[in-house]
Amino acid sequence: MKLKLKELNTGYSLEKRVKRLSPKQRAISIISFTLVFVFLITFLASAIGILPVDAISARIATSVFGGGKNYPFAIESDDVINMGIIGDSLLILSDKSVSVYDSNGTLVLNEKHTFSRPAFSINNKKAVVFDRNGTGYILITEKEKIASGNTSGVIITAEYGENGNYAFAIRGEKSTSVLAVFDKQGEVRFQWNCAYEHISSITLSDDGKFAGVATMNAENGAIYTVVHFFGFEYSSALNTQKLADIVALDLQFTNPSTLTVFSNTGIYQIKKNGDEFKEVAKYFESEFIAFDFNESGSYATCLAKYGSANVFDISIYSAAGKLKKSIALDYKVSSMLMSNKYIFALAENCIMVYNLKGRNVGNIDVIGKLYGIYPTDKYCFVHSLGCVSRCYSFGDSELELGFTI
């Protein structure tokens, strides 16, 4: 049986109505679409390394929220011992205090000291400030003071580990020098007495399980360096390498199992297993200009090729020691530094910025004489006579030093 539907006449006519947006709703829709479109373009550009999100967020924050309004700010340059990047902030060590300014130029930490030879060692967002001619030290982060105290001997060098461990190389009473590693509670985690050689550099792995130590001495009138790879659960070094005619300038765990040695004549890697050793790069002392490394373990060197004053080269390496890119430069470079994403080459009146693929992504023209640059992924802090200025790390810009900007 088929059912026949009977149409009821309700007295109303059915009409299809088109709902129209009000002017306000249309404006909101257009703005929303534009923001989504810009976000997608930015995301894609960032993913292929053309336009990083950090660079955009830095410029937006400055435009919308007035970030950086405290730059430039005045300092007593004659009192400054050193500067460095701690997290995204700038650490300034003077002969009387250690100060930290955030990326907007706001003073977030100021700690007085009485050290006769103040120095610091920065590890990402942590730093230890210490007295090379005494026993005093201060542990800080980019936002606060963590602790302070005194060691049992005069400090040679120090390190603040990523996981909260901290270490000192001190002059020993019954040995030439001593490495002492402490945990977060200040208890001794590991100690090694070096009988005959002077400790020159130390470093701690991010996982808090290993330490690297470089010692120096002379034999038959020739200088040599010995590098030790220590595991805190073992009484003897896991790997020890003697490097003849080499002075280690710094050590870094580029990954937990690899200790990388930087010198003014080459770069070397030591593994934690047995006697594994690798020469990453070799160059002449007359060629060497600078090296630097970042949090991911990548590192770079800057050389004046063959000692020339006209041909320069920046080489970028992975944490494993593989050469990823070489950048040939035809202008004189006096210094080179590295952030997590960029390489900064300091030329005359200009800071050239490259990404880690070797592409030129920024040119900062500098008007005036600068003393040093301290870059992050967002900003480059510049020290000149009597003040600190700030510019963007990415893109072309001009920076006039002093108080006229």
The region that residue 233 occupies, defined by phi over 0 for left and psi between -120 and 50 for alpha, beta otherwise, is: alpha
The predicted pLDDT at position 221 comes to 85
Q: Where are the domains of the chain?
A: 25-66, 285-405
Answer CATH for 285-405 from 2.30.40.10, 1.10.10.10, 1.25.40.420, 2.130.10.10: 2.130.10.10
pLDDT digits (tens, 9 = 90+) for 29-65: 777 666 565 555 555 555 444 556 666 566 556 555 5
Out of 15-19, 94-98, 108-112, 221-225, least confident range: 15-19
Q: Residues 330, 331, 335, 339: is their CA dihedral positive or negative?
A: negative
pLDDT tens for each residue of 107-134: 999 999 999 999 999 999 999 999 999 9
DSSP string, 4-25: PPPPP--S----PPPPPPPHHH
Average pLDDT over residues 236-247: 94
Residue for token pair 């030879």:
117
Q: Report d(CA 311, CA 289) in Å as an integer.
A: 12
Q: Kindly give, in sequence order, each residue whose CB lies less than 8 Å from that of residue 302, ignoring residues fewer than 6 positions away.
A: 289, 290, 291, 312, 313, 314, 333, 335, 336, 345
Map tokens 């050469």 to a residue: 323
Q: How far apart are alpha carbons 356 and 90 in whole angstroms?
A: 23
CA distance 281 to 302: 12
